[in-house]
Every structure is written in structure tokens, then in C-alpha cells.
Structure 1
Amino acid sequence: MPLASSLTLGGLTVETPVVLAPMAGITNAAYRRLCAEQGAGLYVCEMITSRGLVEGDEHTKDMLVFDEAETVRSVQLYGTDPVYVGKAAEILCAEYGVAHIDLNFGCPVPKVTRKGGGGALPWKRGLLAEILEHAVKAAAPYDVPVTMKTRKGIDDDHLTYLDAGRIAQESGAAAIALHGRTVSQAYSGVADWDAIAELVASVDIPVLGNGDVWEAADAVRMVEQTGAAGVVVGRGCLGRPWLFRDLADAFAGRATQALPTLGEVRTTMRRHAELLCQHMGEERGCKEIRKHISWYLKGFRAGGELRRSLALVDSLAALDRLLEQLDPGEPFPVSELGAPRGRQGSPRHRVALPEGWLEDADGRGCGITEDASEASGG
């Protein structure tokens, strides 16, 4: 079966069937532009809270910043109250000109799940339907597609993904993305691609696969094995925005380009820092680039003292001086190919949930309190 060269979400066509997963503190406007400069796809803003947006929370509004080159604005929305989610969806469409809204039902962070949000919420089938229906209805007049991202379930004894797919389809969602892990797994272990294939077979709307896409070849293999309409990439692109170049080539049937030398990685790091400073100012932008440096240099021979200095960089001039010390001809460390990146952690023996959460699998009208200051991420 030939690979799909594009992805259709309602009236929106994505040139390459690849979506950048929102990651807290990572997928800001600067990073989204950096990735988009590498290859076509859909680049999603950091997750924001619906209540925070509706109530005009300044931190939430600060996160809704888009680069001037960002022609397709995509936002992931978190919420547990259908009314707030619907109002937030309307605000995103009417005031921010977004072209795509994704709803987060997959975040495994304990402070989110203990309030019934993120990956815990799909257990409440009725509530899930209500939230989706409100969002789809609010976005419909603007012809903005609404999608959802979820996990297999809370744990292996409380799986929800097949019901979630059915509910997404019945509610008018344009697609569903499935991370092939449970909430209890967090980011540990191996993603279950068979579950993605099972979901593909059970619904008519597009299914996007997420989990363990470290290289372009992994994305191709996932689509071929599961029948997914596309892939969602998160941790695999940390310190490697050129992964989107490789993904665009793979889905277009083009030959894979050569791995970047340290000199080319150095140029990308400098571009990343430059974009961060443009959006945030030099002081904050340089602080932000620090956390990316260890990902960029993973596997390279850069010494400990240089790495420590880079981790304390406070100006673009200082960054330039330090980057000059890197060997531009050093080849990319092939040992890092196919290896997990970012956080992994250990599986959780018990998922943090509201008291009595598992006793009722409907939850329609249950009125979960949503915190406007809830941490954005997942």
C-alpha cells in the first residue's frame, strides 16, 4: 500500500501527514517555526487550558503567540468542563484565527489525572462525548476541524481507546491520535502499535499514530503496519528538528538526506536561539535555549566544560563564542539513531485519580472543576 503524501482533517489539508506533538516548554512559536523550516506538517502550539483562556489568564494568553510565518495555526486545548471547552474553542477560532484545534485526553501527569483530566478523562464516556460535542459545535461555523489525542487507557485493566474512537467519530471529530501507551506507562516501555492498528480498523475517521517514532523509517513502518493516516512526533524531534525534513522526504518517496555534521547541528542551534530571542527577548531566549543544548549535543564528543558553559549561556554573543569551539567536521553519532530521547521514567503502579473515579464510566454532567492555572503539557 503506497504511503499517503498528505493528511486531510475536515477542510484542512496538511501537505505531509506529520504532526508535531505539543510539548510544554518546548513547542513555542520559535521551535514550531524552526521545525516548519525543515519540512511540511502540522505544528501544534503548547497545550493551553480552556478555563485559563476563557477567564483571560495572562499566562495562557502569553502562550498563544504565533510566528509571522505560521500560516496554519494549530492549538491543543485542555479542559474537563464541556462549557468552558466550547467557549475556549470559539475564542480560538474567532479571536486567534486558528485553523485546527486538538483536545488533550492523553496527558499522564499526576496533577492533571488526579483532577480527572488528560488521560484519565476518557474513562468517563459520557463526559468525553459532551466535551467533544461542545468543541465541534463551537468550531463548526469557522470550518475549523477538531481532533483529539488520547492513550490506550488508564492501565491495562481500564482500556478506553476503542470507545474513545467511536465517541470521537460520533461527535464529529475530524481525527483521533492514539499514543500506544497507557497512562500508567507514562513514557516508559514500548508503544503498542497493534492498538493503533486495532483503532484504525474500528473507525472511519483518520487515526494518527503516536509513540516510538525516533526516525523517519519508524514513521513509515508505523503507517505500513497500522494503516494510520499519519504520525504524531513528540520526543523524537528533541534536539533534531531536521527529523521533519527526513519525514517529508520519506512520505514523498524521496531519498534520505545525509545526517548533519556537528557544524550543521551548530548552525541549527544558533538558528533556534535566534528565533527564541526574536520572540522572547535575548535574556529569556538564551535561558530557553539552554535546555535544548544537551539534546542537540547528545552523542557528540563536546567536553564537559564546554557543555557546562553552554548550559549557562546568557547572550547570543556568548553562544557564538562557545559554538565556535565545536568541531564542525565531527560526523553525527550513528549510535544515537533509533534511540529514545527525552524523558522515559518508570511505569506507575497506581495512577492518580479522583476518589471513586473508576466506579462510574459515564460522567456526563459530572461537573469536574477545572483549574485555570493547571500546568500546560502532556
Structure 2
Amino acid sequence: MTLQIGSLELRSPVVLAPMAGVTNVAFRTLCRELEIARAGSTSGLYVCEMVTARALVERQPATLHMTTFAPEESPRSLQLYTVDPDTTYDAAKMIVDENMADHIDMNFGCPVPKVTRKGGGAALPYKRSLFGRIVAAAVKATEGTSVPVTVKFRIGIDDGHHTHLDAGRIAAGEGAAAVALHARTAAQRYSGTADWSQIARLKEHVTDIPVLGNGDIFGADDAARMMSETGCDGVVVGRGCLGRPWLFAELSAALNGRPEPTPPNLGEVAQIMRRHAELLADHHGEDRGLRELRKHVAWYMRGFPAGSDLRVKMATVSTLGELDSLLAQLDPTVPFPKDAEGPRGRQGSPGAVSLPEGWLDDPDDARVPEGADLMHSGG
């Protein structure tokens, strides 16, 4: 089962969703290595952390560091957060002219209050004219190149303000190569259940480019069921791979009719954690790299037997040597626990969406929201 996104022909219809502080070059490399080791090849699309278009154009060092790709990484996929057509054009042109990536995705799905209250993220598609101008700017900047532009968004702001059908139609009309829908509203954030029926509606509404589905894919069965129930062309996986970077090998195998690899036992998970730490240390330096690993520890260890003292020490680890000592205390023969499957990562609670004053008054107001592009890259 393949997926064509513009010039990119992927051998698997599975996409890693950008996640702040997670999908850096270390995590993407680990996912790709495990897919090769467990499924025989790497075939999907692994998207880097979201970066802010303005920060990229201004060449802020932290943002440029986030756009690091491994030498063998292909295709290189970069996601932009953007609110301004002019800045969008400049950022996309910079990516193309400096050969920074092979694919540009744009994020209009972030539900975080500090983003939506300024008119960015999941709030922006409500402004149909502005949304269209932004997509058109990115497409114009990549004209004549092999770099496709794709767009990700949510169902809408809340149940009273759905925007996904208009957003899909507009994005396709402006030249986007694919669209992806996180089947929740901004008001839901990450809580409750994704409404896959809205992915099916979008697929019926947008027929000339691929439609990808996102939300509540925690295993291979979920991915297959989403594609069967909605007719979508591919799946985008976010929280389901937290602490399970081998998930992409399982998804690729299931969707391409191959036997799924056996989940790793605790000894194999320990080796994966060690490799993750090594890659993070290479990218950030050992001190910051091991601090970055800490948030992954609970995800990796979910469901496995380990004493509270050992878990606390692993969650405060600061050196590779210390990590080695702690991992050596685990029983490598323990099989992967059944209760480690299912939802993981942040859930949060639903709530009213923070919006700029008067934001809902005129959906065709194309003015750029003031100060909405000053946020830091990575969300």
C-alpha cells in the first residue's frame, strides 16, 4: 500500500505527526532504524518538530537546530507554524532555495490557548480568506520544484464552528498536495474520542488530493480500521508512538499485508532506550540529551514491572553511564505487557477555546492576526 504526495511516492501510507520536544532528529532516526530492523525497510514519512516560519526566516539558532536532519534521512519533512502569507512565502522559499527539506507541511491544528488566543493554530482556518492566502503563498514559493506542500488542521474551533470541509476545499484549490485532519475540535484538545466520521466526510468532500486521518491510532488494528471506515488515503500517528518508536514497523507491516513483528521484550526496550539516549546526546550534548530522555522514560516503561525507586532514578537520569547502570537492573526476559497498549500521552480536558476579541465576526477577514507569529518554534 503506497501513498503519493506530490512528487513523493511513499511505500507506506503512515506519517509520523510532528510533536514538540519529541520528533527531533534523534527520535526520527530511531523510528527509521527500528522500521528497517523489524520490517526490512523504511517506507513512511517522518516529520520534524514544528518550527515557526518567522523564526526560521530570522534564522534564530534554536529554530535552525530543530531543522536538523540525519544524512541518510529521506524524504526530509519540515512542518511550519505560520499566520502571515508574506512570511510563509519567505520561509518556504528559504527551504527550497537552501535545500532544507523535501516536503513542507503547515500546521493549523494546534489547540494550545497561547496559540489560539492570538488567532493562530486551530483558530486560523475560520478565517477562510487568510487561510487560503497562506496556503497559496507556500505553493507559489515551491512552484517549479519537487517540494510538495501539505496542510494539517482540525475539525474546527468547537462543535458550533466546524471548518474542516472549507479548509480542505480551499487547500486543494490553492495547490496543496494533500490534507490531514485531526478528527477533534480545538475545544476537545486531546480529550475524548476522535470523530473518524469527519475524516470520511472530508474524504467525500476533497476528491482530487490525498486525505490523511489523524486521531486515536494506537496500534496497527486502529490504522487499518481508520482507513477501512473512512476511505482515507493514509494515517498520521502522534501520541500512539510515544515510548513505542517501533510502532511504525508494525503499522507498515499490517497495512502492506506482512506479518507484524513481535513486540519487544524489556531487554529490547532497554536497548532501544539506550540508543535513544545516545542519539539525543549526539544532537543536544549529553547533559541536555539525557534531560530530554527523562520525559520518554514513563512511556517506555509503561506496563513493565519495575520498582518505584528504579523508575524515579530513571526519570532523573543525567549521564549515559548512569543510564547504563539503571538499565542493567531490569529483567530483560519480561515480555511486552498487554496493558501497555492503547491511549498514551497527554489527554487534557475539553474547554472553551481562547480567541482574539471579535474573531468569529467575519470569516472572510484576511487581516493577519497581530502578534500570532511570535511564539517559539516547537509549540
Percent identity of the aligned residues?
Answer: 57
In structure 2, distance between residues paired with 1:363 and 1:190 = 32
Counterpart in the other structure of 2:364 = 362
Q: Which residue identity lines up with residue 297 of structure 1 in the other structure?
A: M
Shift of 1:335: 1.5
The answer to whether the 8 Å contact 1:80/1:369 transfers is no
Shift of 1:377: 4.1
Q: Secondary structure at the match of 1:129?
A: helix
In structure 2, distance between residues paired with 1:112 and 1:186 = 12
Shift of 1:103: 0.5
In structure 1, distance between residues paired with 2:371 and 2:4 = 32
In structure 1, distance between residues paired with 2:279 and 2:58 = 30
TM-score by length of 2: 0.96
Counterpart in the other structure of 2:306 = 302
Q: Secondary structure at the match of 1:140?
A: coil
Q: Secondary structure at the match of 2:98?
A: helix
Counterpart in the other structure of 2:376 = 375
Taking structure 1 as reference, are residues 64 and 284 closer, same or farther at Cα in structure 2, changes over 3 Å only? same
Q: Which residue identity lines up with residue 19 of structure 1 in the other structure?
A: V
Shift of 1:312: 1.5
Counterpart in the other structure of 1:64 = 67
In structure 2, distance between residues paired with 1:131 and 1:11 = 21
Deviations 1:63-99 (A, max 9, x none): 1111122121101101110000111011111114311
Counting only pairs closer than 5 Å after superposition, residues 257-276 of structure 1 correspond to structure 2 as 257-276=261-280
Q: Which residue identity lines up with residue 285 of structure 1 in the other structure?
A: G
Q: Which residue identity lines up with residue 376 of structure 1 in the other structure?
A: S
Q: Secondary structure at the match of 2:91?
A: helix
In structure 2, distance between residues paired with 1:164 and 1:371 = 19
Counterpart in the other structure of 2:235 = 231
The answer to whether the 8 Å contact 1:180/1:196 transfers is yes
Counterpart in the other structure of 1:329 = 333
Counterpart in the other structure of 2:90 = 87
Counterpart in the other structure of 1:248 = 252
TM-score by length of 1: 0.96
Counterpart in the other structure of 1:34 = 30
Q: Which residue identity lines up with residue 195 of structure 1 in the other structure?
A: Q
Q: Is 1:97–2:100 an aligned residue pair?
A: yes
The answer to whether the 8 Å contact 2:47/2:77 transfers is yes
In structure 1, distance between residues paired with 2:142 and 2:327 = 46
In structure 1, distance between residues paired with 2:136 and 2:220 = 35
In structure 2, distance between residues paired with 1:363 and 1:71 = 39
Q: Which residue identity lines up with residue 67 of structure 1 in the other structure?
A: A
Match for residue 117 of structure 1 among 107, 117, 120 = 120
Q: Which moved more, 1:52-61 or 1:5-14?
A: 52-61
In structure 2, distance between residues paired with 1:329 and 1:373 = 49
Q: Secondary structure at the match of 2:47?
A: strand
Shift of 1:286: 1.1
Q: Which residue identity lines up with residue 88 of structure 1 in the other structure?
A: A
Give aligned pairs, total: 371
Match for residue 13 of structure 1 among 9, 13, 36 = 9
In structure 2, distance between residues paired with 1:370 and 1:286 = 34
Q: Is 1:352–2:354 an aligned residue pair?
A: yes
The answer to whether the 8 Å contact 1:51/1:370 transfers is no
Q: Is 1:316–2:312 an aligned residue pair?
A: no
Shift of 1:372: 5.1
Moved over 4 A (4+): 370-373
Superposed CA RMSD in Å reads 1.1
Match for residue 129 of structure 1 among 124, 128, 132 = 132
Q: Is 1:171–2:174 an aligned residue pair?
A: yes
Shift of 1:156: 0.3
Shift of 1:62: 1.8
Q: Secondary structure at the match of 2:143?
A: helix
In structure 2, distance between residues paired with 1:23 and 1:376 = 11
In structure 2, distance between residues paired with 1:376 and 1:38 = 27
Deviations 1:45-68 (A, max 9, x none): 100111111122222112111112
The answer to whether the 8 Å contact 1:80/1:370 transfers is no
